[in-house]
Amino acid sequence: MTIIGRNKPALGHLLDRRALLLAGGQGALLAALSSAPAFAAPKFLDDPFSLGVASGDPAPDGFVLWTRLAPKPLEAHGGMPAEAVAVGWEVAEDDAFRRIVSAGTAIARPELAHSVHVEVEGLTSYRRYWYRFVVDGIRSDTGTARTAPAAGAQLDRLRIAVAGCQHYERGLFTAWRDISQQPDLDFVYHYGDYIYEGKAAGPSAESKVPVVRRHTSDEIYSLDDYRQRYALYKSDPDLKAAHAAAPFLSSFDDHEVENDWGGDLDSSSTPPEVFLLRRAAAMQAWYEHMPVRRGQFPRGNAIQAYRRLDFGRLMRVNILDKRSYRSIRLCEKPGDGNCVDTRDHPDTMLGETQERWLGEGLAGGSTWNVLGLGGLVMPFDRSAQKVPTNGYDNWTGYPDARERLVRMIADRGLKNVVIAGGDSHMFFIGDLPSRRGDLESPAVASELHATSISSNSSNGLPIGPDPRLATNPHMSMIHDQRGYLLCDVDAKKWTASVRVVDQAFKPGGVVSTLARFVVEPHRAGVSRL
């Protein structure tokens, strides 16, 4: 099945656009297609869409569609021949595909693990669509996505989920199942740790925390290693269901590459030029497996992941890269590699260019300004912990950067900044204080820090009232349970529901709302409902 696209060709399409322009018009398009090289047409004995479908980064006129052909997901090259394959795609106004409004062909290339990224354009703003792929007469699952509202449109409401940290071995993806069942989601912000890079857990790991299923390889380093790890995670039916249910705004944290990496340094003592080879492999695999746009295509050994998405006048989302540009980390403990004991220059979390870009985008005009950030931004007094930790991998280790962020918000007089993220494997809901060293100073922003889908925390404190709340007056909740944040946002208030899973070790975990918090756009800070 080949459908002539009414949209722009997908990235890397073989058509020569200049030749088309010279020849002019639709007739030339048909002629060019018929003379284009024939693509391989493999016969599939296994489902080529084993990793599901996804959509991402909605705009007023479209979104990204994603899939990857992998009939044998854990085998080399996903079981695909080393040839380019044409994949058809369709977008419809109804889930039965009676009214198809856009369709085309994209090329799944071996260079990109036979992944497909289609940037659909020309759709109606703030409307729900359904999409699917087809190859060799086999149809993929159907996914659904809503386009963003038109620029400047007054919009009543948005419903979004904030989730991440999905260690495959440490728990089932029950929370993803719950997200997939939430009606009418506009998007999921994924704050990273989509995969974990470690080797398969051995018997000794079991003594500390349950291992519910295992990684299938040693620690990952090569591009094929990373591809196979994504394939393992993406084979999970609950994660596939979540992707099919809503567009994702994807970002990465550390475990997409290596624990606690930053800039061109890992957390061991690997020379930077060697680590950059691993980072390049990891970044390419991230691009291949995420529903992101051409702007996030790997260039050199890096990806520009930071970007802005507007949802009418209701919300501006700044997806931030908190890993690629940060200054060298402070040593968490003696013997750490690639770290310093003190700094001799002001630290940075976002790097100068991204920080300036963020400041330019925080100019106002939206009811809500969202900062998509991993790593707890609020200061955190840990004196009540039995096992003291520093938390230098988050903003506590970057105090100058935090101070500049606070001032950036305060100088603009913004009260509507919501910091959304995760990384701690615990919920932290609270206020970012406006004065350094004064936890009780007025809030400058609200922070909604989600827990983890399945990754366990290592703080060693029991579930229940957290003793650390006593010394952190700016925080409204610290809570250690798996889950995510579900947010209902309108022009008057932002309501965040803390969704928790009763247990993630066996199928049938029950997800419920533990608490609700409210933020108002004219007053920084959260209050409990």
Q: Which residues bind Fe ion (CB under 5 A)?
A: 165, 193, 455
Q: Which does 254 bind (CB under 5 to 8 A by kind): Ca ion, Fe ion, none?
A: Ca ion
Instruction: List the interface residues with Ca ion, window 404-433 (CB under 5 A).
Output: 423
* DSSP H or E segment with residue 32: helix 25-35
Distance of closest approach, residue 455 Cβ to Ca ion, in angstroms: 8
Looking at the DSSP bridge assignments, the partners of residue 102 are 91
Helix (H, G, I), strand (E, B) or coil at 80: coil
Per partner kind, with CB cut-offs from 5 to 8 A, the member of Fe ion, Ca ion, none near residue 453 is none
Residue 260 touching Ca ion (CB under 5 A): no
| Least gap, CB of 393 to Ca ion (angstroms) | 7
**CA nearest neighbour of 135 among 97, 84, 187, 206:** 84
Q: Does 254 contact Ca ion by CB under 5 A?
A: yes
Cβ closest to Ca ion, residue 197 vs residue 254: 254
Structure-token match 């039995």, residue found: 386
State in angstroms the smallest separation of the CB of 285 from Fe ion.
17
Shortest Cβ distance from residue 188 to Ca ion (Å)? 17
Of the candidate spans 114-122, 189-197, 280-288, 397-405, the one that interacts with Ca ion by CB under 5 A turns out to be 189-197
Least Å distance, CB 398 to Ca ion, is 15
Judged by CB under 5 A, the number of residues near Ca ion is: 4
Contact (Cβ atoms closer than 8 angstroms) between residue 147 and residue 479: no
What is the smallest separation between the CB atom of 423 and Fe ion, expressed in angstroms? 6
CB of 258 to Fe ion, least distance (A): 12
Rounded Cα distance between 346 and 358, Å, is 18
DSSP 288-348: HHS---GGGS-BTTB----EEEEETTTEEEEE--SSTTPPPEEPSSTT-SSEESS-SS---
Segment near Ca ion (CB under 5 A); pick from 65-73, 246-254, 342-350, 455-463: 246-254
The stretch near Ca ion (CB under 5 A) out of 199-207, 221-229, 252-260, 506-514 is 252-260
Nearer to Fe ion, 55 or 166 (CB): 166
Q: Give the phi and the psi of residue 66 in degrees, each rounded to 5.
A: -135, 140
| Interface segment toward Ca ion; rule CB under 5 A; list 133-141, 245-253, 272-280, 499-507 | 245-253
Element (H, E) at 405: helix 399-411
114 CB contacts (<8 Å, ≥6 apart)? 68, 69, 70, 77, 78, 80, 85, 108
455 binds, options Fe ion, Ca ion, none, Cβ within 5 to 8 A by partner type: Fe ion
Least distance (Å) from Ca ion to the CB of residue 255? 6
Nearest distance from C-beta of residue 478 to Ca ion, angstroms? 17
Give the nearer residue to Fe ion in terms of CB position, either 196 or 494: 196
User: Quick check: 292 and 250 in contact, CB under 8 A?
Assistant: yes
Q: Which residue lies nearer to Ca ion by CB, 178 or 423? A: 423
Nearer to Fe ion, 88 or 483 (CB): 483
236 near Ca ion, judged by CB under 5 A: no
260 makes contact, choosing from Ca ion, Fe ion, none, with CB < 5 to 8 Å by partner type, with none
Judge whether 521 and 491 are in contact, CB under 8 Å.
yes
Name which of 254 and 310 has its Cβ closer to Ca ion. 254
Q: What are phi and psi of 136, to 5 degrees?
A: 50, 35
Look at residue 522 and give its three-state secondary structure: coil
Beta carbon nearer to Ca ion, 64 or 265:
265
Collapsed DSSP state (helix, strand, coil) of residue 68: strand
Compute the least distance from the CB of residue 467 to Fe ion, in Å.
23
Separation between Cα atoms, residue 333 and residue 54, nearest integer Å: 40
Burial of 274 (0-12, 13-18, 19+ CB in 10 A): exposed
End-to-end CA distance of the chain: 53
Distance CA 298, CA 115 (A): 14
In the bound state with Fe ion, the residue whose beta carbon lies nearer, of 180 and 455, is 455
- Which amino acid does the sequence have at 259? N
**Which of 119, 178, 238, 253: binder of Ca ion (CB under 5 A)?**
253
User: Measured from the CB atom, is 375 or 433 closer to Fe ion?
Assistant: 375
> Under the rule (CB under 5 A), what is the footprint of Ca ion?
193, 253-254, 423
